[in-house]
Structure 1
Amino acid sequence: MTTENKATVIQSLQIGLNILEILAKEKEPLKFTDIQNLTSMTKSNLYKYLSTLNQFGMVYRNPHTNTYILGHKLVQLGNVALSQSSIIEVVIPYFKKITEHTNLTVLLAVPSMQGPLISYILSADYGINIGAQMGTHLPLASSTGVIFSAFEKDLQLKGWAENEVSNFSEQELEQFKKDKEKTRELFFASKTEPLIQHVSSYSVPILNFNNELLGAITVVGITETVPKTADEPIGQYVLNVAREISAYYGFSK
């Protein structure tokens, strides 16, 4: 006889959280009837939930339009959550696992006005000259650059990308366009690094709930040791790590 361990949930809390999730996904004010249609709840039950959520600042009811949106309390809680853990603090334990699993150097690049900025590096034990260090801006031709071009929505980076592209030959530009399209589809980029010979890198994006690029995870090593596709074991491992971190920030593909 076996006993299954099932997580104990409070159904009423689960229902309330589901209402909040619906309001978040719709991204526009909803009327009572809209929420009722999406939840299939009775009017009396839904009214009780919305009244309670409104009382605690989790939702806001506009008295003029009789519509509901997410409340100020959620903004406060979200800001507290973000302040408690920077992206560097979040990725450190994951990066340790990556280096242990792959024996490759791993770095975090975050958006800046001048393109991808290396903000954290964890080197493999044997060490390797990756041609970059903390504070280095990575070029568009790098795997990290391709990730940023494929997923970054910030128009402030448009100038950086246009300036980099202006230095490409027609052949390089055509190849870059193909790489960018493939990266958008598969969520990875692999390149021989332009900064130093015999070194290659593999990059994957970290995205948030709004599909915004928070940064890129890049593994770097001798060209023969770095995966060329996401299907290779190391490629799958790093891609799964990025998905887990992105899920922490609310991303759902």
Structure 2
Amino acid sequence: MIRSIVRRLRKKLRPLLLRAAGEDIDFIARQKQWGTPSFEGDALRTYCKNTSWMQEPRFREAYEAGFNSGHRYSHLPDLHLEWRIHIILWAAQQALKHEGDFVECGVNTGIFSLTVCKYLDFSKLPRNFYLFDTFAGIPESQMSDTERPKRLKENRDFYQDCFATAQANFAPWPNTKLVRGLVPDTLTTVDIQKVAYLSIDMNIAKPERDALEHFWPKLVSGGVIVLDDYGWLNYAEQKATIDEFAKANDINICILPTGQGIIVKP
């Protein structure tokens, strides 16, 4: 009987072991051909790509400012959001070429927006940075039935009431404005005439679509939108509703290996 069980286990495990061995062989072959990965983290591995920007003191200082915000993500080993942050900082610098305020929907403790503030020395800029969030996690009332199981787990694992932390984090930048509550309800409570930079990262579809609908008319020509979850497979509902919005408004979205989507308004 034991031998029979062992044979069955071998039969079931053999394909998995062969696949794992094949992946190891592929990895070794890639390293032999291309060398050590130039970047590895955040579900992304690159070879033969220039990452010198990652060691620039100004970038490192900004990156550390975001990661020291007190977010629960910060304890994860080898998270490495450098490439995502690199894209965000590029978008923010592009936005500086145009008039308009900065907006982030989905803030938590401020990993992304603190990085922008530090990198651009935002307190010296003649514009505001509006930060919309519940500051208490992903609102269950806005989750679809499909989204609910995974997003509730995210709430348990990574989110808590962080409003006091966020207030302290952004205190050095008086032109940042924290707006607490549900999107889209809070969007009309602030008079924002023009937007040059819009970051959307709310982890569920409904408020992301609502934010796009609200801010698209306010986004200036040349303004940039960063969609943090757009290319991630486990956030498919967000991509689907954003694609509907894009089609209706004749918008092109660039999807990046980081999982982000980028829109530059014509």
TM-score (norm 1): 0.33
Return the structure number with greater relative CO, CA threshold 8 A, min gap 6: 2
Task: Kindly name which structure, 1 or 2, has the bigger radius of gyration based on alpha carbons.
Answer: 1
